[in-house]
Amino acid sequence: MKKIPAEKNRSSWMDILITCTILSLIVGGSYLIFLSKKSSSASTKNTGHAATSIPTTVDTIDSKYPGIKINTEISNDPDTPVAVQYPQSTDETFNTEIKKYIKQAKDHYSAEITAYKEIGEDITGELNISFKTFSHHSGMYSFILETYSYVGGANGETEIQSFYFNPKTGESITIEDIFENDVNRLSDISEAIREQLYNDPKIKDYLFSDEVSKHTEPIWNNFQKFALTDDSLIFYFNKYDIAAGAVGIPTASISLDKLDKLLATEFKMKEEKAKDNTKETAATEKNNGDKDELDTNEKDMTSENKRVALTFDDGPDPKVTTQILETLKKYDAKATFFMLGSRVEYYPDIAKNVQAAGHELGNHTWTHPNLVKASAKKISNEINNTSTIIEDVTGQKATSFRPPYGAFNDTVSEQSDLPIILWDVDTLDWKHRNPNQLLAYVKQSTKDGSIILMHDIHQSTADGLDAVLAYLKDEGYEFVTVSQLNE
Ligand code: ZN
């Protein structure tokens, strides 16, 4: 801040300067207040239920894992791309614990990026947090979070973290619980894990034996990262901790039968196992009821209208996608949904609704990574796993592919059988979260043949869509899918 000089006879330009300084401080201050108000109202809005005290709502009805929802936060800022996904429940202790971990990871990442920028290095980093969900018949879920951060150099860092929650009972679980808190069982656990690692053909040749010994020493602390399923306990290690990078994330999966003698009575599940196997979904029924819609679309193709393709990325979402489907129906508009495999897994019914309404299904990878930095194997896994779940759940194949952040290179093109679709109208809806701005961006740059980018995980996008469709319809546009546009 500027110091006010003490002399009495200061010149008049000094008075002006001081006045300006004070004025700009006042204006700057109010702007900051405005900004903080704006961001807090935006984050409330984001939950869709402003009235509840905690900004987390759980769409339990539509999730494949009752009591759990998947949260997806994506920042498309080209300098610091971030894609973070994590589970949330109605339990605040569980939610707070996970959010604390996520916040730490995000803060750490932005601090490192800022540090590089301060020394004048222009680097593009990446933060990607994804998770796997495992369920046990007791209602206990294990969530294995994988945090990948890259801030320059040859390799990024990968960290595994695990969380546990049973929405039926509100309880968590520890490895000590599973083994009756008995230290005498530790050496047997350790031995079972070592045996599994040294017999796994995918891992055994890459193990660092000293590190294996250290990380499987018979102490509870070594076994904190695990997933409990009906059949097995899967132990996780950090990348590079016990094996070469080629292995990826090393795991040791040990059948519960084998551990039976060591397990606490509560977790001896042989007798329960059969009961739960019936839960596997058979959602592969093909739906042939869409013939009429296809015919209608073909008819539309012959008209002379200007055409525009609406695209929605990063979904599906129970509330936002559903509202968008209603708005599209009102205007008899067809669109393309570039879905994340991780969210299709959580919300199969919503993905199915998108298909049933006659929209084009697009693939947007499973975890939303920057594919330009990924290996060919990782790229093909991301694309293929997502195509598989989309077809399994909806009975229809994904017909186009949009790489996250629009980032691709020759390796990505080689790994994708689907046409790569980008966009020319960016609504920046992920950034402003303002329903009115959606229309402003569309008005500014839409022309015949445009592909408009939006995201169906933001409530503001669903809220602003009606005005966008009304405007485009008025301008004489016809709404088509990206494949129809490229025919
Ligand atoms: Zn995206």
- Ligand 1 centroid–CA 222 distance in Å is 36
**Residue 166, pLDDT above cutoff 70:** yes
Q: Mind listing the pLDDT tens digit for each residue in 440-483? A: 999 999 999 999 999 999 999 999 999 999 999 999 999 999 99
The verdict on whether 364 is a catalytic residue reads no
Q: What is the pLDDT of residue 9?
A: 44
Q: What is the pLDDT of residue 269?
A: 56
* Contact in structure between 394 and 360 (CB atoms under 8 Å): no
**Positive or negative torsion for Cα 480, 481, 486, 487:** negative
- Ligand 1 centroid–CA 313 distance in Å is 5
Q: Mind listing the pLDDT tens digit for each residue in 300-336? A: 444 568 999 999 999 999 999 999 999 999 999 999 9
The verdict on whether 276 is a catalytic residue reads no
Q: Mind listing the pLDDT tens digit for each residue in 413-444? A: 999 999 999 999 999 999 999 999 999 999 99
The label of the residue with tokens 């819609």 reads 293
Nearest Cα neighbor of 447 from 257, 253, 282, 309 is: 309
Q: Mind listing the pLDDT tens digit for each residue in 184-222? A: 999 999 999 999 999 999 999 999 999 999 999 999 999
- pTM recorded for the entire structure: 0.81
Structure tokens at 34: 């405005």
Annotated active-site residue in 317, 455, 458, 466:
455
**Residue 348, pLDDT above cutoff 80:** yes
**Residue 290, pLDDT above cutoff 50:** no
Q: What share of the chain is helix, strand, coil (3-state, %, to 5)?
A: 45, 20, 35
Structure tokens at 101: 């971990």
- Ligand 1 centroid–CA 406 distance in Å is 8
Average pLDDT, the chain: 85
User: What amino acid is encoded at 381 in this protein?
Assistant: N
Q: What is the pLDDT of residue 154?
A: 76
**Percent of the chain scoring above 70 in pLDDT:** 80
* Strand ranges, E, within 76-175: 82-88, 126-135, 141-150, 157-165
Protein residues within 5 Å, CB atom, of ion ligand 1: 313-314, 404
Average pLDDT over residues 242-268: 91
- Ligand 1 centroid–CA 243 distance in Å is 32
Distances (CA, A) of 346 to 72, 97, 290: 12, 21, 25
Distances (CA, A) of 27 to 23, 38, 308: 6, 16, 42
